[in-house]
Amino acid sequence: MPELPEVETVRRGLERQVTGFPIARVEVLRARAIAAPPDPTGFRAALEGCTVQTWRRRGKYLMATLQRDGEDAGHWGVHLRMTGQFLWLNDGGEPCRHTRVRFWNPEGQELRFVDTRSFGEMWWVPPGQPLETVITGLKRLGPEPFATSFSAAYLQAKLAGSSRPIKSALLDQALVAGVGNIYADESLFLSGIAPQTPSGRLNRQQLERLHRALVEVLTISIGVGGTTFSDFRDLTGTNGNYGNAAWVYRRGGEPCRQCGTPIRRDKLGGRSSHWCPSCQA
């Protein structure tokens, strides 16, 4: 599933390409891609005639402000889920069988939403209505990793007394928004913490290292366009490059880039965890 760097890469691409985009026509090819309104016809009617304004990201959610005739027209929300991706097309062409929603401007340029697994969702939030009342997943999100409210002190307070493995805690979107398997593994490696360590046993110094590592890893990954191991692409179809420099993720059995010890791949809470038993002792 795309994580914060991948979603931020998509947001930046949408910001560059689709800000000011007048939506002349919308075609919904798969009804389940539209979460609200429940009838795709209502979604289409709400967006056609609107101009896309600013894009922002919250965790793994994307949201655009909309205007119609200079007036507030609500918000357009998107969650890519596992395999959703946007493609920008100047000359259109026949859609592939995984195309779910299509958006055209008056010149015929197209923003196309393609989703192999069909878990991606879109919402229209009416003007004046709080986003979280329609996109209800927003209610459960913790702070952004780059926010001042996310700190070692915050982690210490939230994790106090917890026996939950720190890797599992980092995947909890209520603790920190946007972090998933890739960057949890990478930040734990850089901070020298084994993924199965009970969260409540981490001291302030370890949490300081973990906080710094997480911010560093996410910053680097955003800078190289995220990570592509299977499906993720940006608006131009370009792969993310972070995977080539990953310290441990998907490197099970390969030598640690730091000490040479074979990287282990274990199951933890139903998810694969990659770690170095020497560097993360």
Q: Is residue 198 flagged as an active site residue? A: no
CA atoms within 13 A on the CB side of 98: 13
Question: In this structure, what DSSP letter does residue 25 have?
Answer: E
What is the gyration radius of the CA atoms in the chain, in angstroms? 20
Counting every residue written for the chain, the total comes to 281
Reading the block at residue 261, the tokens are 């010890």
Per-residue pLDDT at 236: 54
Containing H/E element for 123? Answer: strand 121-125
Closest to 252 (Cα-Cα) out of 202, 191, 185, 190: 185
Let me know: does 137 contact 178? Beta carbons within 8 Å: no
Report CA-CA distances (Å) from 31 to 10, 43, 82, 221: 23, 10, 18, 33
Token output for 225: 């366009």
Q: How far is CA 206 from CA 153, 166, 189, 194, 195, in A?
A: 11, 11, 12, 11, 13
Location of structure tokens 């949890």: 184
Rounded to 5 degrees, φ, ψ at 210 are -65, -45
Cβ–Cβ < 8 Å for 268, 196: yes
- Of 68, 81, 257, 271, the active-site residue reads 271
Q: How far apart are CA 26 and CA 70, in angstroms?
A: 20
Distance (Å, whole) CA 110 – CA 106: 10
Whether 5 is a known active-site residue: answer no
C-alpha span between 211 and 207 (Å, rounded): 6
Question: Is there a catalytic annotation at residue 60?
Answer: yes
C-alpha to C-alpha distance for 218 and 231, rounded to whole angstroms: 19
Report the C-alpha gap between 228 and 235 in whole angstroms: 13
Question: 90: number of CA atoms within 13 Å, CB side?
Answer: 2
Q: Show the 3-state SS of 49-88.
A: CCEEEEEEEECCEEEEEEEECCEEEEEEEEECCCCEEEEE
Number of alpha carbons in the 13 Å side-chain half-sphere of residue 79: 22
Report pLDDT for 281.
83
pLDDT digits (tens), the chain, 281 positions: 688 988 998 999 899 999 999 999 999 999 999 999 999 999 999 999 999 999 999 999 999 999 999 999 999 999 999 899 999 998 878 899 999 999 999 999 999 999 999 999 999 999 999 999 999 999 999 999 999 999 999 999 999 999 999 999 999 999 999 999 999 999 999 999 999 999 999 999 999 999 999 999 999 888 776 553 444 445 655 544 455 678 999 899 999 999 999 999 999 988 899 999 999 98
Q: What is the pLDDT of residue 229?
A: 44
From residue 67, give the alpha-carbon distance in Å to each of 45, 99, 113, 256: 14, 26, 21, 51
Q: Catalytic residue, from 11, 57, 58, 60: name it.
A: 60
| pLDDT score of 135 | 98
